[in-house]
Amino acid sequence: MTVRPINPTTLEPLETVESTTIEQLDVAASRAEAALAGAWPVDARRRARVLLDWAPALEAHTAEIVHALVTETGKPITEARVEVRASVDALRYNAGLAAHLGGHAGTLPDGTVSHLVREPVGVTTFIVPWNWPVLLLLRDLAPAFAAGVTALVKPAPQTTLVTDLVLSLGFQAGLPTDVAHLIVGHADVGQVAVEHPLVRAVAFTGSSTTGAEILRACATGFKRPLLEMGGKGAVVICADADVDLAVSAAVQAAVVTSGQMCMACTRILVDRSLYQPVLAKVRAELETLRVGDPADPRTRLGPLISPAEGERVERYLGRSCRLPGFAGYFMRPVVVTDVDVGSPIVQEELFGPVVTVEPFIDEADAVRLANATPFGLATGVWTRDIGRAWRLARAIQAGTVWVNGYNHSYPEVPSGGFKSSGLGRTRGVAGVEQFTELKHVHFSVGPQANRQGMGYTPVPLLRDDRPEWTELVAWRPRGLALPSEWSCCSGLTSRGWCTNVR
């Protein structure tokens, strides 16, 4: 079988790529598993150097990557450049975390020593969407490599070529070829990559429907899931907000990737006293945005990823939105008003440049509306009152709440979703820990090795209520009494230590 992406702007076919066979995938998984026994998981400096060298390689090939993004996703060229810059930031930040030891050690009350160490979780499958294929790959892959895992990378079929380019630059920067493996194909190949017995974790970005299927597969195999799924991002505009800035931020967030982004602003919740002026400003500002050739720097909205996706959006709206004169599916942004909060337009992820404008009565009503969908990925709150901002941020069920802003994401700060928007966190230190197992290593050293020399007395115990405990030894500080239920002797308190030596 093959994968043949289509240019969403021209609908012309792009280069054909052979799908990964089951046998090839099995070899890739075995090689990734074998790499965990080598230097990669333990040589943090090597991992840091690979990530550091990968970053300038991306920068040097920015024009090539941007061209591939525009061709394969239809996103505007200005947005593609932002994606490459953010991907470089992800590599550089996580290079620093690769050398971070991240464990803890301490002496316990009995004088023994405990170490808590983090180890790579194992072979991890990365399922990457088409809309931000470079950033959403490296957002997860960079912290995973910092942690020392090995990877099976399964991109969306539509963005196989740009993913191959990015991984190739990584190999040129020193990434071992047995550490990362490109897996090509459609959903059936992705399913095998998730369910493979050597895979111990899955990182997925995509729809909540597919995420639920992956979660079930992870449960069956006891694999660790990292899921960032759908969203119904909202901007809450309070009565005291800077309306011009709030509307501008909401409009720009509504049309990012032509609305085909999980964090896109899909709902504007506005204090009812400002409803009409805000609605007028939203419509006026959307009208100024240029729809057209994504390779033109003046363009703000390119095509939807396919005509089929455009027709799906039309079914929600009940009318045709396709602009004439284009091969691909281009549409102008749509504003929906007088909509019931229970309607599919509010409750479901449309993945198009569609935004609802909904009035609220007071803070409680704003919270009710913001929390009324199954999703909880991101929300923006606009107010000059810091107390109100804090109350709303705490009450809104979302993984990220921006105050007087929107779509501010950083490699240093964890992100993820509530409810149907996801499980786990990526970015920041939490993003590295997501790809580790926490292990407790206990050392019986010091006082435990010679308790009698440190003032402890071995006391044989027999419990009346546990006759099967035929021989139990309690190590107790001399002079302390045992509780009455230990009827055979006198000695153990909560500061005593016992060892079953049956």
Interatomic CA distance for residues 123 and 33, integer angstroms: 6
**90 closest CA partner among 141, 124, 165, 151:** 141
**Active-site residue 314, yes or no?**
no
Sheet strands (E) in 74-231: 104-107, 113-120, 123-128, 150-155, 180-182, 199-205, 224-228
The residues with which 472 forms a beta bridge, in sequence order, are 461, 500
Find the helix or strand (DSSP H, E) in which 459 lies: strand 456-461
Strands 418-419 and 17-18: unpaired
Interatomic CA distance for residues 282 and 288, integer angstroms: 10
Interatomic CA distance for residues 481 and 361, integer angstroms: 66
Interatomic CA distance for residues 56 and 290, integer angstroms: 32
DSSP assignment of 406-453: -----TTS-B--EETTEES-BSHHHHHHTTEEEEEEEE--GGGGGGGG
Please, are residues 65 and 84 in contact by the beta-carbon 8 Å criterion? yes
The alpha carbon torsion through 423, 427, 429, 430 (nearest 10 deg) reads 0
Q: At what angle do helices 386-395 and 363-370 cross, to 10 degrees?
A: 40
Residue from 218, 262, 265, 321 carrying the catalytic annotation? 262
Taking CA atoms, 274 is separated from 243, 249, 268, 338, in Å, by 9, 16, 12, 15
Degrees to nearest 5, angle at CA 88 with 83 and 93: 125
Strands 375-376 and 418-419: antiparallel
Taking CA atoms, 9 is separated from 6, 69, 76, 456, in Å, by 9, 12, 11, 79
Residue from 79, 83, 228, 358 carrying the catalytic annotation? 228
**Active-site residue 321, yes or no?**
no
Catalytic residues: 228, 262
